[in-house]
Amino acid sequence: MRLITVSFDSIRYGEPLPYPLRDANGTLLANKGFVVESKADLEKLVGKGFEIYVDILDADNHRSYVNRLHHMVSENKDLGTIANAKLAQGVDPNRIEVADEGPPDWLDLQAQANSLLRDTATPHFLPRLHRLHALLRGYAQRNPNGALFALFHLSASEIRMYSATHAMLVSVMCGLAAREVLNWPEETELSLCLAALTMNVGMTDLQDRLAMQIAPPTPDQRKQIDQHAPRSVQLLEQTGVRDAAWLEAVRDHHVAPPGRLADMSAGHRLARLIQRADMFAARLAPRASRVPTSPAAAMQACYFDENRQVDEAGAALIKAVGIYSPGSFVRLSTNEVAIVIQRGVNTTTPKVAVLINREGIPTSEPIIRDTSQRDYRIVASVPHREVKVQIHLPRLLPLTVTGDRLW
């Protein structure tokens, strides 16, 4: 739960509360529907001099409501119209906006996604999902290198919340490919990214357990794996999802066939892109039962389809992410080991930060190299497990920033 303050003046006295009121610790003061008769009663309830808070999900609707009131006042609407204004009960997924909250807390976002994807039954599932997507999209637009860096790192280093981290990574990868390479409309990108986030809601808990399980899946687990796509669609439909392309992409994200994207149905176009990103990200992630594939090998598998032809969806992902994605490790011609911090002019020449010098000793501070320069060219990928340097995200994420961006 994330709390924000609300003004006493925004409370509609004598009417049922449209959201629960809480104190600074999140303790419930008044349930939704409770009637506060006057400001004096509210002060008695809260305590004089104290502030009132609401959950940020309720606050999204609250801010919309208050802004609507201010807009009506500025247009000199009659008092009856203003008094009859209602707090919006629904959420328009195409109109969700989130404030620029500064540098993202990726560990917090990972925890939010983990909690969300385990409980589709909550009445706030869709608003929370759309908010998660809006945050991810905003971060990826403002600093795509940083979003990829953080998610690739978390995917390679944390398996307890594997399902949520994997879903976020696939969603960001697909969003970048849709926006920067395929030039898909924003509505299509929205369906694509939401489908990527929810492709495995039918087996979130199982997926996390399998990531930590050394033994092969049991017959019952195998049955759940085989049925997770239609199960995910069923759960999404129960939450109110009616987007046909989104549902088709979730249902067929493991079976979408190769071919020209233009020749596919709307849902299969999304499914094919998700399938390639899903396969690529899964190969990079460690499991208790196996070691991850190198980024270069994972990208090669993504680039070619089942017929060993260039896959249009896979090629779009590589153009968007790079053969050496931010967050992956490489060895330079100088024999230094570096972590990729920024995508380059082409897919093979990113900017990197040297973490281990040519003598095999960790550097005291990262040393920036441009691998497009002949002296610092990349000669090999380095598996994450072979790099014994601890990665501190707050320290390295500022290096992913390009131009005049703040983060």
Tens-place pLDDT, residues 231-256: 999 999 999 999 999 999 999 999 99
- Whole-angstrom Cα distance, residue 232 to residue 222? 16
Write the pLDDT tens digit of every residue in 340-352. Answer: 999 998 888 999 9
Residue 2 CA to its chain's centroid (Å)? 18
Is the pLDDT higher at 262 or at 346?
A: 262
pLDDT at 184: 97
How far the first Cα of the chain sits from its last, in Å, is: 25
Domains of the chain: 3-83 (no CATH), 106-321 (1.10.3210.10), 329-400 (no CATH)
**Structure confidence at residue 403 (pLDDT):** 61
- Please give the pLDDT value at position 16: 80
Reply yes or no on whether the pLDDT at 397 is more than 80: yes
- What is the model's pLDDT at position 102? 66
Q: What is the dihedral of CA 109, 110, 116, 117, to 10 degrees?
A: 140
Which value, to the nearest 10 degrees, does the dihedral of the CA atoms of residues 120, 228, 257, 242 take? -30
Q: What is the pLDDT of residue 138?
A: 94
Q: What is the pLDDT of residue 68?
A: 44
User: What pLDDT shows up at residue 169?
Assistant: 97
pLDDT value at residue 384: 83
By the 10 Å C-beta count (0-12 exposed, 13-18 middle, 19+ buried), 198 is classed as buried
Give CA–CA dist 172/134, Å, rounded: 11
Q: pLDDT tens for residues 265-277?
A: 999 999 999 999 9
pLDDT grade for 158, boundaries at 50, 70 and 90: confident
The residue ranking higher by pLDDT, 354 or 26, is: 354
pLDDT band for position 1 (cuts 50, 70, 90): low
Contact present, 356 and 387 (Cβ < 8 Å): yes
Confidence of residue 407 (pLDDT cuts 50, 70, 90): very low
What single letter denotes the amino acid at residue 361?
Answer: I
Alpha helices in 1-105 (DSSP H): 39-46, 56-74, 79-83
pLDDT digits (tens, 9 = 90+) for 8-37: 766 777 778 877 887 777 777 787 778 888
The b-or-e profile of 94-107 (16+ CB within 10 A means b, else e) is: eebebeeeebbebe
Banded pLDDT at 78 (limits 50, 70, 90):
low
- Tokens 């079976």 locate to 255
pLDDT tens per residue across span 87-139? 434 444 444 455 555 678 898 899 999 999 998 988 889 999 999 999 999 99
**Strand 52-55 to strand 362-370: parallel, antiparallel, or no bridges (unpaired)?**
unpaired
- Mean residue pLDDT of the chain comes to 84
The residue among 38 and 377 whose pLDDT is bigger is 377
pLDDT average, residue stretch 212-233:
94
Q: Which residue has the higher pLDDT, 54 or 397?
A: 397
The whole-angstrom separation of Cα 134 and Cα 98 is 7
Determine the Cα–Cα distance for residues 374 and 294; give it in Å rounded to an integer: 23
Give CA–CA dist 266/252, Å, rounded.
12
Question: Where do we find the tokens 């999140």?
Answer: 26
**What per-residue confidence (pLDDT) applies to 86?**
43
Integer CA distances (angstroms), 234 to 62, 247, 263, in order: 31, 9, 27
Candidate from 43-57, 122-136, 349-363 with smallest mean pLDDT = 43-57
